[in-house]
Amino acid sequence: MARPKIALIGAGQIGGTLAHLAAIKELGDIVLFDIAEGTPQGKALDLAQCGPVEGFDAVLKGANSYEDIAGADVCIVTAGVPRKPGMSRDDLLGINLKVMKSVGEGIKAHAPNAFVICITNPLDAMVWALREFSGLPHEKVVGMAGVLDSARFRHFLSVEFNVSMRDVTAFVLGGHGDTMVPLTRYSTVAGIPLPDLVAMGWTTQEKLDAIVQRTRDGGAEIVGLLKTGSAFYAPATSAIEMAEAYLKDQKRLLPCAAYVKGAFGLDGMYVGVPTIIGAKGIERIVDIKMNADEQAMFNKSVDAVKGLVEACKGIDPSLA
Ligand code: A3D
């Protein structure tokens, strides 16, 4: 059986890391696509030369033409610009919306059967626009944010509790922005919910609140340190987890920016919710019950995403 084909649209910081991880995990053959001439070719050659040392079998190719992504099984989109210190994700909207148009049209023409994972910010609005421009089925176009935000939350919690990160599970839902919703009730250490751990004296409510806020600010903290761009290792590894779930039909339950119609009382929009990813793409939205506080936070986040989608429609009338 031929190896799956993985197209990485955008060969910058995240794109290069995605290619490295996909090769090491032998998920398939990899095409790195970018408008910058030489960058995808150079990264593909450099990464291919890891092969003899790492011992992986994967063909890596760099490309500046969409024809090279033909027949891709998975497309992971990072094309666009990242933020710099002082910028919010929303400041990227105008420029990255134009990029989503060309990427969506490229995927529509050359890889219409792919499972598409968008990473470009502002995430929830960009994955919506990419779906509109590509015309692919909603269940095959998804945004990566919840896996990353939950990983950040899990990391901070494992440090606070001094336990293995493997035993910390966490859910962060809502839009990928300042209003994201880390759900403490559904986050656990080996099944023990965080509110119980507070009651057991493992931490205080104040410390937990500070960790929740640090999770919300997790991207900005790294932008402030790097100064020239945004996080790329953890975003890449999070998207690879989603791609692997699709390619191997793993039925993983992962929080993703998915198209929600009906569940959570929503009537058709992209926002971060728990999903099951398998060979059909997003196979299920897990409609968990929220208490009044959680619902209020989620609604605020939904409103923020709706505002960005309206802004997209204002910029590009073809989306209205
Ligand atoms: P960067 O290293 O700048 O790479 C972006 C690449 O896109 C560059 O190589 C550009 O040449 C390329 N590009 C620009 N326009 C086009 C186009 N029209 N077609 C094809 N390629 C193009 O950025 P990065 O890899 O660090 O980040 C990429 C995106 O991911 C940014 O929008 C970030 O804000 C976003 N991001 C999202 C998360 C989430 O959790 C959702 C986390 C981190 C970064």
Q: In this structure, which CATH number among 3.30.1340.30, 2.60.120.1310, 3.90.110.10, 3.40.228.10 belongs to the domain 144-311?
A: 3.90.110.10
Cut 0.90: pTM above it: yes
The number of beta carbons lying within 10 Å of the beta carbon of residue 9 is 33
Pocket probe mutation, ligand 1, options 13, 14, 110, 172, max atoms within 8 Å of Cβ:
14
Q: What Rg do the C-alpha atoms of the chain give, in angstroms?
A: 19
- The minimum-distance atom of ligand 1 relative to the CA of 11 is 9
Q: Ligand 1 pocket, 180 CB below 6 A?
A: no
- Ligand 1: which atom is nearest the Cα of residue 39? 9
Report which protein residue has its CA nearest ligand 1's atom 1.
12
Whole-number Å distance, alpha carbon 232 to ligand 1 midpoint, is 10
Q: At what angle do helices 146-161 and 205-216 cross, to 10 degrees?
A: 150
Q: What pLDDT is recorded for position 90?
A: 87
CB of 10 closer than 6 angstroms to any ligand 1 atom: yes
Q: Which residue has the tokens 């099951």?
A: 276
- Check the annotation: does 10 bind a ligand: yes
Q: Could you tell me if the CB of 95 is within 6 A of ligand 1?
A: no
Residues of the chain with pLDDT under 50: none
pLDDT (0 to 100) of residue 44: 98
Mutate to test the pocket of ligand 1, among 21, 33, 78, 97 (most ligand atoms within 8 A of CB): 78
Ligand 1 close to Cβ of residue 123 (< 6 A): yes
Q: Cβ distance 187 to 170 under 8 Å?
A: yes
Rounded to an integer, what is the distance from CA 88 to the centroid of its chain? 17
* Active site residues per annotation: 176
Taking the CB of residue 232, how many other CB atoms lie within 10 A of it? 20
Evaluate: CB of 230 within 6 angstroms of ligand 1: yes
Q: Which CATH architecture has domain 3-142?
A: 3-Layer(aba) Sandwich (3.40)
Q: How many CA atoms lie within 13 A of 213 on its CB side?
A: 6
What pLDDT score does 146 carry?
97
Which atom of ligand 1 is least distant from the CA of 103?
19
Q: How far apart are CA 119 and CA 74, in angstroms?
A: 13
Specify whether the CB–CB gap between 157 and 189 falls below 8 A: yes
For residue 303 the two structure tokens come to 């409103």
Q: Is residue 315 part of an annotated ligand binding site?
A: no
Question: How many DSSP H helices and E strands does the chain contain?
Answer: 11, 12
| 156, 194 Cβ separation under 8 angstroms | no
Distance CA 39, CA 16 (A): 10
- CA 109: distance to chain centroid? 23
Q: How many residues does the chain have?
A: 320
Which residues face 270 on adjacent strands?
259
**Cα 280 off chain centre by:** 18
Domain ranges for the chain, please list them. Answer: 3-142, 144-311
Each residue's pLDDT tens digit, 9-45: 999 999 999 999 999 999 999 999 999 999 999 999 9
Question: In the prediction, which pLDDT does 84 show?
Answer: 83
Q: pLDDT tens digit string along 47-84?
A: 999 999 999 999 999 999 999 999 999 999 999 999 88
Token digits of residue 268:
């058709």
Instruction: In whole angstroms, give the CA distance from residue 197 to residue 227.
Output: 36
CA-148 nearest atom, ligand 1: 40
For the chain, helix, strand, coil in percent to 5 are: 50, 20, 30
- Quote the pLDDT of residue 188: 98
Q: How far is the CA of 13 from the centre of ligand 1 (A)?
A: 7
Place of tokens 């996080």: 231
pLDDT score, position 33: 98
Distance CA 232, CA 20 (A): 12
Minimal-distance CA residue to ligand 1 atom 28: 78
Query: Does the C-beta of 237 come closer than 6 Å to ligand 1?
Result: no
Q: What are phi and psi of 271, to 5 degrees?
A: -160, 160
